[in-house]
Chain A
């Protein structure tokens, strides 16, 4: 088999086999028996598919809310992450002071923060943006700071002897060197963003996929829970794909 074809066919085949096995196990009731559950609690892929279709407007409405939380939260995280990365670079004392704190801040589970953020920012989009931004900012800040530090000292000497000012050094050498690192950080951040948005919604929200999942779970609407989770994954994969595409367009030298 052609290598390129295999790279597509094999994972698609594996996925189809898993979904097929799940379909058989769920529709015959074997999976529910195994788990000791009522059959309606264990939806088959076909049932999830029809839940997705029948509830399309409700799911789309809530997905739109969550997508906005993820998108704008990510943008805020990107801006703050870039600012940290670049500001810490020229000031060694600042970097030494804050870098460990930034790393340490990631050890605090954001789920602990989310309720406080609701107290501070209310039930609107504010706390969700804050949670998503908090999660995204870290990998972007760290990757950007590392990228800026990865500049070869010989290249810096070369640029200095070619009359580069501090600003030109940053713009012509350091920023392009850091760019692929920033993209890597952003790609990590964006895959965590949907989880963060769901956390934000769980603490207090009246719409969004996370809110819907919580409600449906309480009402044992398991097929719709799976459908919403599917949409969350689709959002994460879509945003990751967009970033990967942008990276390929911008970082043409790798």
Chain B
């Protein structure tokens, strides 16, 4: 436990640009139900891993395990060399499926939550989060309440909130699932730009193969419950500046076909 609390201080004090992730022989059960069985994954520091799989296969559970929000039934998850749940939680910022912006706080106060939780004064926290609003195309919306923002804007603020935490690993649970197709494509390009400007290790859960292949360096296709990795693919052109060109490139289309085939084979 001592090592873990030491890790917490280190992670909070100096935002690292990424941490290496290693998952070995991971098994997780809810009572009698095995949701993940013998899963191995690895991701270098600064890499982006996409997780796709049939719905209900345990993708979200896997993400919560990695993020230190749950302890696995068996197996090991190491993040930046540390294994305990508290140590992982200290190094990971989790972005849930729905934006979960707090409706009583302004956009900038929502983005600054992690800083406030660590004891920063309101003014300092706002100033620090506010700088990111400028950088990521949200200038002028600092004082808006979440209810006044569009769906895409809300997801941007939710992502900034995750980024502002300054943690080496970002765990994103279907970040754009609630958006319409056009906004989703825009947000993917936006996220690609944000990660180029501020690189982190990212684990991204998606039900959308195209989204995962565009945003991630590598995509793991999971089987139906209990989840196992049935295929691991390298993305042809991760986070290419021209998204529309990237996703219609023959290499991308071929990778998508392979992933889809693995997905359908795995869910049978």
Contacts and interface: CB of A to CB of B under 8 A. Distances in A.
Interface residues of B, number: 28
A253 B147 contact: yes
Interface string B95-115: 111101011100000000110
A162 B165 contact: yes
Contact of B97 (A154, A159, A253): A154
A161 B67 contact: yes
B7 to A, nearest CB: 13
B69 interface: yes
B195 to A, nearest CB: 18
Contacts of B161: 162
B117 A159 contact: yes
Contact of A163 (B102, B118, B145): B118
A155 B116 CA distance: 16
B117 A162 contact: yes
Nearest to A168: B117
A154 B113 contact: no
Interface string B71-106: 000000000000000000110111111101011100
Interface string A142-166: 0000000000101101111111110
Interface in A194-229: none
A154 B98 contact: yes
A254 B103 CA distance: 8
Interface in A223-254: 252-254
A79 interface: no
A165 B221 CA distance: 35
B16 interface: no
Nearest to A179: B104
Contacts of A254: 103
A158 B104 contact: no
B49 interface: no
A154 B96 CA distance: 6
A19 to B, nearest CB: 42
Interface string A4-23: 00000000000000000000
Interface residues of A, number: 19
B113 A162 contact: yes
A176 B102 contact: yes
Given A172-B117, A173-B102, A253-B104, A161 B97 contact: no
A115 to B, nearest CB: 45
A181 to B, nearest CB: 14
Contact of A165 (B69, B92, B100, B117): B117
Contact of B12 (A155, A160, A163, A253): A163
Contacts of B92: 161
B147 A163 contact: no
B212 interface: no
Contact of A152 (B64, B67, B93, B100): B100
B113 A159 contact: yes
A168 B119 CA distance: 10
Contact of A158 (B90, B96, B118, B145): B96
Interface of B: 12, 64, 67-69, 89-90, 92-98, 100, 102-104, 113-114, 116-118, 145, 147, 161, 165, 171
13 contacts: A155-B96, A157-B94, A158-B96, A158-B100, A160-B69, A160-B94, A161-B68, A161-B92, A162-B165, A163-B118, A165-B117, A172-B117, A176-B104
Pick the 7 closest A-B CB pairs, nearest first. A161-B94, A162-B114, A154-B96, A253-B103, A155-B100, A164-B117, A163-B117
